[in-house]
Structure 1
Amino acid sequence: MPAETKRKRDPSSEANGPLPDYTITIAPTNDFPPILASSHGISIPPTTQFTPYIHTINPPSKKSRKAEEFLLYGETPSIGYEGREMPEDAEYRRHYVGIFNPKTNGIELHAAPKLHFGRMIKAHIKRDRLVDGKGVVMSNVDSRTALGKEFGTKKSQKRLRELELNKIDVSDMGKNITTSIVSQVEANTKDMPTAVELGNQIRANKPIPKVNHDANHPDEVYNLEDIISSDEYNVIWVREWERGEELKSKSSFVQARIRKLAEDKSKKHTRLLKILRYISLMIDFYLFQQRGRGRLPAMDRVKKALSVDHAIAEGFFRRYTEKNVSSEEGSDKDIYAVSPALANKILYHMAVLCLMVDHYDVDIFQLKNDLGVQPKELTLAFKEVGCSIRELTKPQYTAMKMTKAEAMQHKRAVLKIPLEFPKPPSRRAKATRR
């Protein structure tokens, strides 16, 4: 039976006229109660039709009575509106709707669940269903976001909501917008260089001597004057080497070739001996700058330490060093250094000179030991000037009285036509899920 409450008249109000007696009755609960709905920051079209739903929730073991959850759903062609009870409202508050009957002066109170509305984009719902159907695993970022929404502090949850509001979803863009973006990208990238042009541009910026791409023979690819100037060439003295009097070189690569040329008495080898002398000085300069980790003293000190002519010392500083600003206050001294790129330039130019001496087929084993570099670093230098790297053939290492195991340590850098330069780096392929 519904509870009834009789309201008594207030004697103080009789001065303004008697009030009628009315009765307040609490109606029994039923499966279709009236529903209160509220929304925050959402404008719902007045023509939207809503459908109510009810769901029975199994209570915990301490509660014997089953609870009911109400849901109200309506939609437009693009937006869905869903109203649900807030947990704090269902737990601590009760809302009622009173219906007044003027004939009986009675008010009937009906328990009314209060629902709060939120909205969903239907395109997102369809997309999420497709993703769920394909079994796509959430990324680490998505997983952290979901945990933040569920268990994060109020401040972190607010931050996540702000990020979602500012996020752009490409799937919601109209066809005209995406077409416009694509056309603008195409217009802005039409003048970009192709992979071949980009590779040629990268190669042109490499610190290697000038290349003759129209050469028909290896000795036409590089010009000696681009590496050794005439001023330097004219001050290189090799008369003692021509007479075989002494071998002043710390390089085993250079000494081995001087001996070989000295055995050939059929003609003079002045040009090759001068190139070998210059290679020996380049090796000394390379090792000197390595000991100083690229930093060099004044040119006069380098000239004295290496026992070279002023023209050669000046050529080394001009080609292979860069001037740095002095860190000392009031100092007017020029500080020179060999950067890693310039150290590579020394190796590239030296590689070309070695090719000229060895008829464009160089065994790099001795040169590697002279420079104290890794085989990979030196083979890369020869590749950068257009060489292919090969192993010694059986007739070659047999003539040199080597075993096969010893021959495996010797690599040959061969310059041949057409030239083979390293390919420019390409984009890495995207990793695929296993």
Structure 2
Amino acid sequence: MDSVKEASDAMPAKQTQQEEILANKPIPKPNLNATEAENVYPIGMLIPAADMRNLTVKEWQDSNGEDLKFSSRYVANRVAPIAVRDDVQRLKALKYLMLLIEFNLALKPAGKAGKKVPQKDQLRSKLQDWPETLIESVRRRFSDNNELNKWHMDNLITHMAAISLFIDGYKLDTHDLREDLRLENKQYVPRSILSHVIMLTQVYRMSQYFMELGCKVNNPTEREQAEFKIPNKAVAAQRRVAKLKIPLDFPKVRMMARRR
């Protein structure tokens, strides 16, 4: 009975400890009490209410996503089926994700792993199709005094990953988003194998972002190859499928023993 009591007393402490660890990570705050995947990162938390109201998708709805040009592979491959269903909330999430992708590409290198926001007129020029209110909201939300260190960059990308999970029903081929983010590989490798190593490094980095959200990330099964229209096993070997399921599967964090 004493051992059962000790175990039950330790459970709340363990969850509190996990919450503290996750609170310091550059990820959206997960709801650890969620019993369904859609409640772990609710879309109302990932996209501010004011930004959601300012997003307009009528053009996408009227065209059913056809004959539109997009800078994002992820958006281009999803807007038509979502527009046909007239799922306004997912269309708005898709549009917000496109803004984050374009904001990310507009950033300028700064330091070892950081970026900085361009001057206001330069940023406005690069994001000329977006309302000023949305640009400013994203700038304030994801940068610190117009600077993004590694923590801020990881936070931006994990938010994009979480939004993509909502859009795709909590299971997706991560390839399109990885292509849009153009993840850099700064490690030197011989030129003869450079392209292959860069591709594998990008696959791993993209997988890590989804794993930090509590996803299970694996190579696609044969059924998933058909589901995601992956043409053959060679291509499948370069793809990863992320799934957000309960219970969440966060990367194990090694806890330091407390000093006595």
Please state which band the TM-score falls in when normalised by the shorter chain.
0.7 to 0.9
Q: How many angstroms apart in 1 are the aligned matches of 2:151 and 2:158?
A: 10
Per the alignment, residue 202 of structure 1 pairs with: 21
* 1:100-132 Cα distance to aligned partner (Å, 9 max, x none): xxxxxxxxxxxxxxxxxxxxxxxxxxxxxxxxx
Q: How many angstroms apart in 2 are the aligned matches of 1:290 and 1:276?
A: 24
Per the alignment, residue 134 of structure 2 pairs with: 312
Q: How many residues align?
A: 219
Aligned-residue CA RMSD (Å) = 2.1
Per the alignment, residue 241 of structure 1 pairs with: 60
**How many Å apart are 1:297 and its aligned residue?**
2.7
SS of match in other structure, 2:217: strand
Rg larger for: 1
Per the alignment, residue 42 of structure 2 pairs with: 223
Q: How many angstroms apart in 2 are the aligned matches of 1:235 and 1:425?
A: 42
Per the alignment, residue 216 of structure 2 pairs with: 388
Q: How many angstroms apart in 1 are the aligned matches of 2:137 and 2:205?
A: 24
The letter of the residue matching 1:289 is L
Q: How many angstroms apart in 2 are the aligned matches of 1:302 and 1:258?
A: 25
Q: How many angstroms apart in 1 are the aligned matches of 2:242 and 2:25?
A: 19
Per the alignment, residue 4 of structure 2 pairs with: none
TM-score, normalization by structure 1? 0.47
- Out of 234-243 and 349-358, give the one that drifted further: 234-243
* 1:297-321 Cα distance to aligned partner (Å, 9 max, x none): 3345323321221221122122211
Q: How many angstroms apart in 2 are the aligned matches of 1:196 and 1:261?
A: 37
Counterpart among 148, 166, 181 of residue 338 in structure 1: 148
Per the alignment, residue 417 of structure 1 pairs with: 246
Equivalences for 1:54-203 in 2 at 5 Å? 198-203=17-22
SS of match in other structure, 2:242: strand
Q: How many angstroms apart in 2 are the aligned matches of 1:405 and 1:320?
A: 37
SS of match in other structure, 1:314: helix
Per the alignment, residue 33 of structure 1 pairs with: none
Change (3 A) 1:248 1:408: same
1:348 aligns with 2:153: no
**How many Å apart are 1:290 and its aligned residue?**
4.6
Per the alignment, residue 193 of structure 2 pairs with: none
Per the alignment, residue 407 of structure 1 pairs with: 236
Change (3 A) 1:290 1:369: farther
SS of match in other structure, 1:322: coil
Extract unaligned runs of 5+ from structure 2: 1-12, 184-201
Per the alignment, residue 297 of structure 1 pairs with: 118
Change (3 A) 1:232 1:403: same
**How many Å apart are 1:401 and its aligned residue?**
5.2
* 1:335-392 Cα distance to aligned partner (Å, 9 max, x none): x211111000011100110000000001111111111111222111111111110221
* 1:17-69 Cα distance to aligned partner (Å, 9 max, x none): xxxxxxxxxxxxxxxxxxxxxxxxxxxxxxxxxxxxxxxxxxxxxxxxxxxxx
**How many Å apart are 1:199 and its aligned residue?**
4.5
Counterpart among 205, 229, 246 of residue 377 in structure 1: 205
Per the alignment, residue 6 of structure 2 pairs with: none
1:273 aligns with 2:81: no
Per the alignment, residue 363 of structure 1 pairs with: 173
- Which structure dedicates a bigger proportion of its chain to helix? 2
SS of match in other structure, 1:395: helix
Per the alignment, residue 259 of structure 1 pairs with: 80
Change (3 A) 1:305 1:418: same
- Which structure dedicates a bigger proportion of its chain to strand? 1
Extract unaligned runs of 5+ from structure 1: 1-193, 324-335, 428-434
Per the alignment, residue 284 of structure 1 pairs with: 102
The letter of the residue matching 1:261 is I
**How many Å apart are 1:197 and its aligned residue?**
5.6
TM-score, normalization by structure 2? 0.77
Q: How many angstroms apart in 2 are the aligned matches of 1:198 and 1:216?
A: 20
Determine which structure has greater relative contact order: mean sequence separation of CA pairs < 8 Å that are 6+ residues apart, divided by chain length.
2
